[in-house]
Amino acid sequence: SVRNRLREIVGASTNWSHHQQAMADRASLSSMLATSQNDLPAKRMKDSYLEVHLPLGSEPQLREKYLTYHNTVRFGRILEDLDSLAVLISYSHTYNPEVKRSPLSIVTALVDKIDMRQHVIYPDSDIKFTGHVTWVGKSSIEAKMHMSQYRDGAYVSVLDATFVMVARDPGNKRAAFVNPLKPEGPEEEKLFQEGEANKSRRVELSTASLLKVAPTDEERKVVHSIFLNTLDTNTVSFRSRVLPPNSVWMEDAKLKGLEICHPQERNIFNRIFGGFLMRKAYELGWANACSYGGCRPSLVAVDDILFQKPVDIGSLLMLSSQVCYTQGKYIQVRVHSEVFDPLTCQHSTTNIFHFTFASDRDVPNIIPKTYGESMLYLDGKRHFDQTVES
């Protein structure tokens, strides 16, 4: 019902050929866009509040789509549902009763954080999603969502998620203004300030990225310590490296996959659905963590999923997962997705995903060998430390 509502809002069709025409017709909606944010009325947080139910307990026919072999719920499906809900929450914030079809194209820019409160999601109990907009910029929207499950007569918290959405013009080519947000009361003001802090933190992390600046002094000591620990004491050579006990070389902790992007997986804007990309990346990352740890891992957190580029229908999507950091029973996995054009042989990065898993036992230490792998290790450590701190 959430996805049907989204199709109504933008005038999309479930039929592929009709859908293409409907998207072409959206170009005429550009004249309805605001020329300034000041032209748009301020909205309240409760204007975008939504409550959606997934009746796995009361409607058993729904279960198979969500069921794992081990009789739990597929978390990849939950990621798809969260993505759809975040888009609908954003459209609820920008709703204009005088307009039949929204001129805005609202897409996912970033999954800022998903924190798990329960490690098991049951396939025979109803699930409730709630959420609303908590912060807005000129064209960006932060939506916070909460998921709970009905157990023993009450709803129990399962996860909290924060998504960042961006509004664009009908052709999804340039940024478009969204309604400002007016917090009411100290609790909403606190949520709004948290949104401001989240934005500042993202800018700070981007500035300090290891792809842009050198590691800190402390991080350099970590890398050098790993290097010294892998030197062959018999040869005492810079080139001769030995794997320490209970360790795995980083190059041996990879898992790859490929997806052909069919029309069935499209979103309401004729691109591949972001939730589908998240599901595929999560399942590959989970399989890698499972293989590495030797048991079925549980998800601890998802953070900093960046949507750098949309994926077109018909693309060859290449996914590569890498165990990049370990500590005790925890496994940090990075999944890199890219589109490959077989005609030009060009590779373009579309997404980077970060997942923190927990095994039921201590896992081997992951050991980088090259400088590039050491940077992956430090990046994984940063994400893990951030998860532990929150």
One DSSP character per residue, 155-217 reads EEEEEEEEEEEEEE-TTSSSB-----B---HHHHHHHHHHHHHHHHHHHHHHHT-TTTSPPPH
> pTM score, two decimals?
0.88
SS3 for 73?
Answer: strand
Give ∠ CA 48-350-315 in degrees, rounded to 5.
105
| CB atoms inside a 10 Å sphere around CB 52 | 19
pLDDT score for 17: 65
Q: What share of the chain is helix, strand, coil (3-state, %, to 5)?
A: 35, 30, 30
CA 131, CA 156: separation in Å to the nearest integer? 16
- The H or E element containing residue 372 is helix 371-389
How far is 300 from 67, CA to CA, in rounded Å? 20
| Both tokens assigned to 121 | 């999601």
Give residue 23's pLDDT: 66
CA distances, 320 to each of 14, 17, 287, 291, 374 (Å): 31, 33, 12, 15, 17
- Angle at CA 286, nearest 5°, toward 202 and 362? 95
Residues 82 and 163: beta-carbon distance below 8 Å: yes
How far, in Å, CA of 376 to CA of 324, rounded?
6
Q: What is residue 375's predicted lDDT score, i.e. its pLDDT?
A: 96
User: Which DSSP category does 358 fall into?
Assistant: E
Q: Are 172 and 105 in contact (CB under 8 A)?
A: yes
Distances (CA, A) of 281 to 69, 275, 321: 19, 10, 8
Domains of the chain: 2-207 (3.10.129.10), 230-389 (3.10.129.10)
Q: What pLDDT sits at residue 14? A: 63
User: What local confidence, expressed as pLDDT, does residue 12 receive?
Assistant: 65
Cβ(349)–Cβ(322) under 8 Å? no
N-term to C-term CA, the chain? 33
What pLDDT is attached to residue 7? Answer: 74
pLDDT at 18: 64
Q: What is the pLDDT of residue 38?
A: 93
Please, is 376 exposed, middle or buried when counting C-beta atoms within 10 Å of its C-beta (0-12, 13-18, 19+)?
buried
User: Rounded to whole angstroms, what are the CA distances from 68 to 84, 122, 204, 215, 331?
Assistant: 21, 10, 39, 41, 21
Give pLDDT tens digits along the chain (390 positions). 887 787 777 766 666 666 666 667 777 778 888 899 999 999 999 999 999 999 999 888 889 899 998 899 999 999 999 999 999 999 999 998 888 888 898 999 999 999 999 988 999 999 999 999 999 999 999 999 999 999 999 999 999 999 999 999 887 788 999 999 999 999 999 999 999 999 898 888 788 888 889 999 999 999 999 999 998 877 777 777 899 999 999 999 999 999 988 887 777 677 778 888 999 999 999 999 999 999 999 999 998 888 888 888 888 999 999 999 999 999 999 999 999 888 888 899 999 999 999 999 999 999 999 999 999 999 999 999 988 876
Let me know: does 354 contact 383? Beta carbons within 8 Å. yes
Contacts of residue 341, Cβ cutoff 8 Å, sequence gap at least 6: 316, 348
